[in-house]
Amino acid sequence: MRIAIIGSGIAGLTASHLLHKQGHEVHLYEAQEQLGLSAHSVDFNFLENDSSLSVCGDVPSRMFNSSLWPNVVELYRSLELDIAQVNAKQSYRRGDDVSALLFQLPFEWSTEIMKTANSSLLALSGSLGIRRKSKEQSFNGGLTNAPISDRRFIFLAEINRLRKQGLNDLKNLDPKMTFQEYLDQHNFSAKFRETFLYPALSSTVCTCSHEAISCYPAVILLEAMQHISGSQRLCRVVKGARLIAERLSENVTVKLATPVKRIAASPQSAKLTADGIVIDYDHVVIATQANQAAGLCLGLAATDSATLNGFSYEDVDVVIHTDEKFMPPAKKEWSMFNFVASDQHHESMCTVWMNQFHDDWQDTGMTQPIFQTIRPIHEVEPDKLIRHIKLQRPLVNHRSWSLWQQLRTIHQQQDRRIWFCGSYAMPGIPLLESAVRSAIEISNLISDT
């Protein structure tokens, strides 16, 4: 069969790769001049000892572990990509004057740390004034004056309690209960949420606002936390998104800078219009955002249109810069991931130290610290700004369950010729994993027709 894929993010590239492997002729259409997965990768050129050197960095930083991203890991292994572990040390600060470091910890909260934190909370409670009857008062009042090591134990104890409570509740939890409702029900403190939990989730896992985190179905985040707060190490692909995109698009006819204008389907084929030419395909997979997909299709059924337009999105700002005020004031406190929670705006940001994330940069002699800040809560100095990128993230809320089911029903229709693929299209956190799962499902459905 001859199949067109529209969009070259991870979903479109994976669908192209899988359908080609199944023996189909695949044409991949991309409106931009480069493949979408690596479109925001940045080349950094610098002088070192009178030599001109260049390194490339991924934007956003793409990390994964084998527990929460199993299909992504399997895909990367099939492509024979080299995988490297990420040094995932973190720092946490709070307030609009962010000079004070609250605590540091590794990203992987291992079982041993959890046991230590759980038992240490009892010993700490007396000195910090923490009482069972008033968790909110004790955590909010005792945190500021506590030593850094004690603050770390306090938050680790709460995250351990959340993991254990969540594991117990997952089977019987109302899928429409929000994360905020769940945290309220079990009396998790505001300081824990806004200083530690929400920053970690909103800036690196879900890349969305605190408000959006609050509206997530609790069952999705609690399930994810069983994987991200265990002993699994974070990893990245050596040479990054450009190599991934290159491997996935091998042997596929790639049409860059070729925006698709419209698609019209019949029971026998799908007609695609691009560059003023109408081309017949057996199937068309639209791997763009859901709201863009709806606008491409002529004669789209009302139910299809309503489903696609039902998915909502949130803007995510990412800035690449050299502004060290985004980092802890003492360089010895710099971590791979540096979180800051704002008291004024009830939001948070995360600054990734790109030199540490791409540790192979050291082999080139790169010495200039480069930072990537996700959802910045204050401005970068103009002369230190390298690039400002605006992304969009699909939001997940109580409506998502019905939208996912409706989309699956659409794909089960007889004589289906147009398919919708993307990170928004699968239950869970809209990450690379959900995008790859969507591509796998669509590829199998097409091959079974």
Q: What is the pLDDT of residues 11-65, one digit of tens each?
A: 999 999 999 999 999 999 999 999 999 999 988 887 666 667 788 999 998 888 8
* Residues 417-438, mean pLDDT to the nearest whole number: 93
The CA-based dihedral angle spanning residues 244, 248, 252, 254, taken in that order and rounded to the nearest 10 degrees: -40
Q: 420 with 303: CB under 8 angstroms?
A: no
pLDDT at 107 exceeding the cut of 80: no
What integer best gives the mean pLDDT of the chain?
86
Provide the pLDDT confidence category of residue 360 given band limits of 50, 70 and 90: confident
Q: Are strands 25-29 and 253-255 parallel, antiparallel or unpaired?
A: parallel
CB contact set of 38 (below 8 Å; sequence gap of 6+):
58, 240, 241, 242, 244, 245
Q: 57 with 358: CB under 8 angstroms?
A: yes
* Residues 268-292, mean pLDDT to the nearest whole number: 94
Nearest Cα residue to 4 out of 37, 249, 15:
15
pLDDT at 129 exceeding the cut of 50: no
What own/partner pairs with CB < 8 Å and gap ≥ 24 does 166-170 have?
166/218, 166/222, 166/223, 166/225, 166/226, 167/222, 167/226, 169/222, 170/219, 170/222, 170/223
More confident residue, 266 or 30: 30
Task: Please give the pLDDT value at position 138.
Answer: 39
CATH for 43-106+232-240+313-394 is 3.90.660
Provide the pLDDT confidence category of residue 104 given band limits of 50, 70 and 90: low
Q: Measure the CA–CA gap between 368 and 351, rounded to whole angstroms.
A: 16
pLDDT digits (tens, 9 = 90+) for 71-89: 999 999 999 999 999 888 8
Among 3.50.50.60, 3.90.100.10, 3.55.30.10, 3.30.930.10, name the CATH number for the domain at 2-35+249-312+396-447: 3.50.50.60
pLDDT digits (tens, 9 = 90+) for 138-190: 344 444 455 555 666 777 788 889 989 999 999 899 999 999 999 999 999 88
Q: Cite the beta strand spans of 175-242 per DSSP E.
A: 235-237
Domain map (residue ranges) of the chain: 2-35+249-312+396-447, 43-106+232-240+313-394, 109-228
CB contact set of 341 (below 8 Å; sequence gap of 6+):
92, 93, 94, 95, 194, 195, 198, 199, 347, 348
Provide the pLDDT confidence category of residue 259 given band limits of 50, 70 and 90: very high
Task: Please give the pLDDT value at position 234.
Answer: 86
pTM of the predicted structure, to 2 decimals: 0.88
* Residues 344-352, mean pLDDT to the nearest whole number: 87
Tell me: cis bond preceding 60? Omega within 30 of 0 counts.
yes
Task: Please give the pLDDT value at position 368.
Answer: 86
Task: Please give the pLDDT value at position 81.
Answer: 95
Nearest Cα residue to 263 out of 29, 20, 22:
29
Q: Measure the CA–CA gap between 35 and 13, rounded to whole angstroms.
A: 9
Neighbouring-strand partners of residue 48: 51
27-36, 99-108, 379-388, 405-414: lowest mean pLDDT where? 99-108
* Residues 422-431, mean pLDDT to the nearest whole number: 90
* Residues 298-304, mean pLDDT to the nearest whole number: 91
pLDDT at 128 exceeding the cut of 70: no
